[in-house]
């Protein structure tokens, strides 16, 4: 159902004129004015006075000084960053040199270790050859001693065997009368 009193669209020549609700009448309001200035003029004038007071009290200098202080702090930070970067690059170069020196030292140590190992191997070979020669000499000496002992035992057995053989031959070829004659001869020689 449609509203019998539909709102009416109105056209006005000034914003101060509008239609009263429900009455269909146009009401015109006058804008307030003081000393010949409308409200927008007073706002503009107040803004102008405010800006003049700010300039007169030196607020712009304070703001500029604050900005200058910030700029100086930023420049100081940049200078410090440049100095830190230079120090870091110097440290990097120093450590690079140390690493290169350490690599050279490591190579020298490795070469020294190789030479020492070669010397130890050569000494071990010499010592082993000397030990082998000593053991061969000891074995030769033991063999020679064993040969001498075997020869001495063989001579002793041969002497015992010849003594027994001579005793048995003498015992067979001599009797008591021959012994008496030999004993008499030995006594006479004394």
* 4 is a domain residue: no
- Give a yes or no: residue 153 inside a domain: yes
Q: Domain of residue 97: give its range.
A: 52-173
Mean pLDDT, rounded, for 114-138 = 93
Whether residue 134 is contained in a domain is answered as yes
Q: Compute CA distances 189 → 175, 177, 178, 179, whole Å.
A: 21, 19, 17, 15
User: Is residue 155 packed enough to be buried (19+ CB in 10 Å), middle (13-18) or exposed (0-12)?
Assistant: exposed
Q: Can you give the pLDDT at residue 24?
A: 54
In a domain? residue 11: no
Q: What is the pLDDT of residues 141-161, one digit of tens each?
A: 999 999 999 999 888 888 888
Percentage of the chain with pLDDT > 70?
83
- Residue 5 pLDDT > 70: no
Would 181 be classed as within a structural domain? no
Structure tokens given for 75: 């420049």
Q: What is the Cα–Cα distance from 111 to 118, expressed in whole angstroms?
A: 10
Chain mean pLDDT for the chain: 82
Domain count, the chain: 1
For 51-101, the pLDDT digits (tens) are 888 788 777 788 888 888 899 999 999 999 999 999 999 999 999 999 988
Q: Assess if residue 124 is contained within a domain.
A: yes
- Phi and psi angles of residue 4, each rounded to the nearest 5 degrees, phi first: -65, -30
Query: What's the confidence (pLDDT) of residue 17?
Result: 47
Structure confidence at residue 62 (pLDDT): 82
pTM comes to 0.34
The alpha carbon of 17 is separated from its chain's Cα centroid by a whole number of angstroms, namely 88
Which of the two residues, 20 and 171, has the higher pLDDT score? 171
Q: Mind listing the pLDDT tens digit for each residue in 11-46? A: 444 444 445 455 555 556 677 777 777 888 888 989
Residue 97, domain member (yes or no) = yes
Q: What mean pLDDT do residues 170-189 have?
A: 77
Query: How far does Cα 65 stand from its chain's mean position?
Result: 51
Residue 63 placed within a domain: yes
């Amino acid at each position: 159902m449609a509203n019998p009193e539909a709102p009416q669209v109105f056209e006005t020549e000034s914003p101060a004129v509008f239609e009263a609700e429900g009455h269909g009448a146009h009401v015109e309001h006058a804008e307030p004015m003081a000393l010949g200035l409308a409200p927008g003029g007073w706002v503009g004038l107040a803004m102008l006075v405010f800006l003049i007071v700010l300039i007169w009290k030196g607020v712009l200098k304070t703001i500029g000084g604050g900005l200058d202080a910030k700029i100086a702090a930023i420049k100081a930070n940049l200078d410090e960053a440049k100095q830190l970067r230079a120090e870091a690059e110097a440290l990097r170069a120093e450590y690079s040199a140390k690493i290169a020196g350490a690599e050279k030292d490591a190579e020298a140590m490795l070469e020294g270790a190789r030479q020492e190992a070669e010397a130890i191997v050569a000494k071990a070979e010499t010592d082993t050859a000397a030990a082998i020669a000593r053991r061969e000499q000891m074995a030769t000496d033991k063999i020679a001693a064993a040969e001498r002992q075997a020869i001495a035992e063989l001579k002793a057995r041969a002497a015992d065997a010849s003594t027994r053989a001579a005793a048995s031959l003498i015992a067979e070829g001599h009797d008591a009368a021959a012994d008496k004659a030999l004993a008499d001869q030995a006594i006479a020689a004394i």
